[in-house]
Structure 1
């Protein structure tokens, strides 16, 4: 499932291809993957220069100067790419937008259809539907903000996965961050001391920064517009059940946390007393 590093990698590629350009034609749009808004809003987006390409958490978005925008929900298998119109169309391609003055197009593909896209208009500087209700960006969150987030009486991994508290972390990077910080995923967040909270924030920022440099993690489905990511070669616990921990040589264990498979080193991440 694409998380923040994958969304950031996709966003950077889209920015290079689409910034200050416009769409001239809707070649194809599967309407039942529209999450909010209406198809006619896509039509009104044509011939309008795209002046902002960014993301909130895991969600890339394209926006015009007047505040109209398209936000993409990548779900489990969503992919965005810009390619020549002559490129063979893959199965499960739900959106194709032709660029103006070009033979290239934007495509959105989602095999499992847990993702989609929506339309919005930004008004009065407020976060619009689709990118509202999200917590701060983990790469921007301050130490005081993170201390406040961790004051809650919830298991720390469940808290990190809750997008309304911190936006963009998912299963892979939560596990990797907790390992580097030496914190068990079932530890109540409110039980963490100041040093642990500080160590965890540093680990989150370090893991995400490294993952962005490696253009994300490709395990099964994720591809950015130029191909697979490479951070899977840097994973220390995620997906390594039964393998020896690189640090202490004790086998990595898998457990369920917040309904998700979680990977933990029982020696480096001892359970809370």
Structure 2
């Protein structure tokens, strides 16, 4: 499933091509996505796409009459192509602009979504209970420490909870906890304020590095054959269970936490 960095890179990739352009037509070739695509999405036709923003892993396409809420699901990918370009299999949504370009959502597994709201987008039921964005000033060590008090869940599942902070997916939780030297099994409520103050900048660093790397290595969003997805990363622990720790050269351990693969070093992480 695309994580926050992949979604942010998608936003950065498509925005220059569609922001400020008038939506001439919205075509739904298959409405059977994670939730049925509502007819209201067509209300944006004839209006300028003012900007593309992101909240958690949702892309928000804002117009004067309302906002399209787009989610890539587990396998979704976006590309901007000339409207004369032939449809590919699993191209379920097309947003055509007056300048002849089309934004297409390709989603083989159909776990993505396209919804519409004409209300304040932060009040939408999918967004209303989300925690702060991890790369903003609202996400601090003190905030995370305060949220953790009394929590008995593992620190890894705690920082992956979107009600606490959005976008710290499995890959980035593994990586940040390793950098901070925190055992992912440790109870969140037993982690000190000092360690949270050390962890938060490392979460931000890990996510920012992934976004920056994606911006230079992700496939072209205007390439007809492009299929943006995960980009290569220099991972310290994720996916390296049983291999040598890059710090102490001991063997990395792999377990399941919250039904997600968790890799850590029993020597470096306490």
**Residues 7-156 of structure 1 correspond to what in structure 2 (within 5 A)?**
7-33=7-33, 35=35, 38-39=38-39, 41-66=40-65, 68-100=66-98, 102-123=99-120, 126-140=122-136, 141-151=139-149, 152-156=151-155
Alpha carbons 2:5, 2:211 under 8 Å: kept? yes
Q: 5+ residue gaps in structure 1?
A: none
Following superposition of structure 1 onto structure 2, how do residues 207-218 of structure 1 map, counting pairs within 5 Å? 207-215=206-214
Matches of 2:156 and 2:37, distance apart in 1: 33
Structure 1 residue 179 and structure 2 residue 178: aligned?
yes
| Equivalent position of 1:225 in the other structure | 221
Provide the aligned C-alpha RMSD in A. Answer: 2.3
- In the TM superposition, residue 230 of structure 1 has moved relative to its aligned partner by 7.7
TM-score, with normalisation over the residues of structure 2? 0.89
Q: Which stretches in structure 2 are left out of the alignment for 5+ residues? A: none
Deviation at 1:129, TM superposition (A): 3.7
Q: Which moved more, 1:129-138 or 1:190-199?
A: 129-138
8 Å contact from structure 1 (residues 52, 63) kept in 2: yes
8 Å contact from structure 1 (residues 216, 229) kept in 2: no
Where 1:201 maps in the other structure, the secondary structure is helix
Q: Is the 8 A contact 1:150 1:197 kept in 2?
A: no
Cα offset, 1:231, TM superposition: 5.6
- Conservation of the 8 A alpha-carbon contact between 1:217 and 1:229: no
Which residue is equivalent to 2:191? Answer: 192
Runs of 4+ residues over 6 Å off in structure 1: none
Instruction: Tell me the matched-pair count.
Output: 263
Q: TM-score, normalised by structure 1?
A: 0.88
SS at match of 1:105: strand
Aligned counterparts of 1:265 and 1:6: Cα–Cα separation in 2 = 26
CA distance in 2, matches of 1:193, 1:147: 7
